[in-house]
């Protein structure tokens, strides 16, 4: 019988303790920023009926990227590929009970069957934040400002990232009125624009010609070229500048300026591929040359709640992903040095002292200190090597002399300094260490 593989399923990853420290650091920051803005946490099932995604997420996501199976009750179900349909279902179910604006967030994992690549996995984790019940662009301004604050909360400067903004109303007007495309052509062109930076320029040009057809290819390509070279709303063709959608985008930029968001810019080529967006769409881009890519995005989707047979609820949301966020932090060297959540490892010289060490550890835990005791009975050098591998900040040696005098050998692993301390002084040292880390985090918030 052949041995089982130690590899995780393709497109997924294992999270060892060091990985979990990083993940929890990112999640903790997301939790903090969301709660600062009054968003309440929720959770939803990992399985949903497949029809929830076929209704509005788009054929590619529902048919090609979703993990589906028939359960024992003969129901076709899917592992969630995104959260938006689930939270829309939940809001529809308690539409009358919720207080509006309803600000909701979750951090959850999802699965999509797609080709794994840098920054994209089959199992992935996201923060999902949505505001329900606000019609005007103040909702978009709030979500985009929160996206800005999330990235800044990790210590990023404005130059490290940019927020690109467009509007699906403007896109629809552009496709039908300016480019003169029918519904099928418009759909194809939106999908093509969404892939523009992922395919060669020649392939983009050839597909534009295919969509317009030979008779209109010359005129259509010239109009597309004007759109692509527009760097601001002032550069747009006059037919587009006079539209109501442009006025909406201009109002949004005014609100963002007031909110202190200074790195937002207009991008007429930004589409956002999912079919359910109805208004503003945006993406947050990493500006680092080694990782110049979209990190996450969002936008307005007013129609999803109405699919469940209730009155539609205006909604704006976004979904930062764990892996793109991590790549951003690594590219800009923004990840702090993270240590174990265990404060102290107790090293026990001699098997006879284990019981006394366990009593000592229990007293520390009663004071709020996280303690691990080595109960293996191994030699001291092997116990010390294990502590170093675990990245625990402190070691305490508990042998005959320490138990007799109640003065314990306390070692700072980083500085390798040792001193004899009472249990009370050990508690103080650990709490001072923790508080110093908190103060360092607070100081970092005020450093540009």
**Is the model's pLDDT at 58 over the cut of 70?**
no
Kindly indicate the confidence band of residue 24, based on its pLDDT and cuts at 50, 70 and 90. very high
Residues of the chain with CATH 3.40.50.800: 344-445
pLDDT of residue 448: 41
CA angle 181, 184, 188 (to 5 degrees): 85
Tokens of 223: 């109009």
pLDDT in tens, 240-255: 888 888 889 999 999 9
Per-residue pLDDT tens digits for 369-394: 999 999 999 999 999 999 999 999 99
> Does residue 66 contact residue 52 with C-beta atoms inside 8 Å?
no
304-333 mean pLDDT = 95
Question: What's the DSSP call for residue 181?
Answer: -
CA 221/CA 230 separation, integer angstroms: 14
Contact (CB, 8 A) for 73 and 289: no
pLDDT greater than 60 at residue 446: no
Mean pLDDT of 283-304: 94
Which residues make up the CATH 3.30.930.10 domain(s) of the chain?
Answer: 17-331
Judge contact between 138 and 255, C-beta under 8 A: yes
Give the per-residue pLDDT at 444: 47
CATH number of 17-331: 3.30.930.10
| pLDDT value, residue 1 | 65
CB 137 within 8 A of CB 251: yes
pLDDT digits (tens, 9 = 90+) for 256-285: 999 999 999 999 888 886 677 889 999 999
CATH annotation of 344-445: 3.40.50.800
- pLDDT at 404 (0 to 100): 93
Percent of the chain at pLDDT exceeding 90 = 73
pTM, two decimals, is: 0.89
Q: CB 357: neighbour CB atoms within 10 A?
A: 25
pLDDT at 408 > cutoff 60: yes
Percent of the chain with pLDDT over 70: 95
Q: Give the pLDDT score at 60.
A: 60
According to the model, what pLDDT value does residue 57 have? 54
The token duo for 234 is 């002032």
| 205-234 confidence digits (pLDDT tens) | 999 999 999 889 899 999 998 888 887 888
In 3-state terms, what secondary structure has residue 316?
Answer: strand
């Amino acid at each position: 019988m052949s041995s089982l593989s130690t590899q995780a399923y393709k497109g997924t990853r294992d999270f060892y303790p060091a990985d979990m420290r990083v993940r929890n650091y990112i999640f903790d920051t997301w939790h903090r920023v969301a709660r600062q803005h009054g968003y309440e946490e929720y959770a939803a099932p990992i399985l949903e009926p497949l029809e929830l995604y076929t209704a509005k997420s788009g054929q590619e996501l529902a048919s090609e990227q979703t993990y589906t199976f028939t359960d024992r009750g003969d129901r076709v179900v899917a592992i969630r590929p995104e959260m938006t349909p689930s939270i829309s279902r939940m809001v529809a179910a308690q539409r009358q009970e919720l207080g509006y604006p309803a600000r909701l967030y979750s951090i959850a994992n999802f699965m999509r069957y797609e080709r794994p690549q840098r920054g994209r996995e089959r199992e992935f984790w996201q923060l999902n934040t949505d505001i329900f019940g606000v019609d005007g662009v103040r909702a978009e301004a709030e979500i985009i400002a929160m996206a800005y604050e999330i990235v800044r909360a990790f210590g990023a400067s404005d130059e490290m990232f940019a927020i690109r903004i467009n509007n699906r109303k403007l896109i629809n007007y552009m496709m039908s009125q300016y480019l003169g495309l029918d519904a099928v052509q418009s759909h194809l062109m939106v999908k093509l624009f969404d892939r523009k930076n992922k395919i060669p320029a020649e392939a983009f040009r050839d597909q534009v010609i295919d969509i317009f057809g030979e008779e209109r290819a010359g005129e259509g390509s010239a109009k597309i070229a004007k759109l692509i070279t527009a760097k601001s709303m002032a550069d747009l063709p006059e037919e587009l500048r006079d539209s109501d959608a442009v006025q909406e985008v201009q109002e949004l930029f005014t609100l963002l300026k007031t909110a202190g968001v200074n790195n937002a810019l207009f991008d007429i080529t930004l589409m956002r591929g999912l079919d359910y967006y109805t208004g503003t769409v945006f993406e947050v881009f990493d500006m680092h040359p080694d990782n110049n890519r979209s990190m996450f995005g969002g936008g307005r989707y007013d129609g999803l709640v109405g699919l469940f047979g209730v009155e539609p609820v205006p909604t704006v949301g976004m979904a930062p992903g764990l892996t793109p966020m991590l790549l951003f932090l690594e590219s800009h060297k923004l990840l702090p040095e993270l240590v174990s959540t265990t404060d102290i490892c107790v090293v026990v010289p001699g098997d006879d002292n284990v019981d006394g060490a366990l009593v000592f550890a229990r007293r520390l835990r009663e004071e709020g200190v996280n303690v691990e005791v080595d109960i293996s009975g191994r030699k001291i050098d092997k116990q010390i090597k294990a502590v170093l591998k675990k990245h625990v900040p402190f070691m305490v040696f508990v042998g005959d002399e320490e138990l007799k005098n109640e003065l314990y050998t306390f070692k700072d692993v980083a500085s390798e300094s040792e001193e004899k301390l009472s249990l009370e002084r050990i508690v103080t040292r650990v709490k001072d260490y923790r508080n110093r880390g908190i103060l360092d985090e607070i100081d970092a918030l005020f450093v540009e």
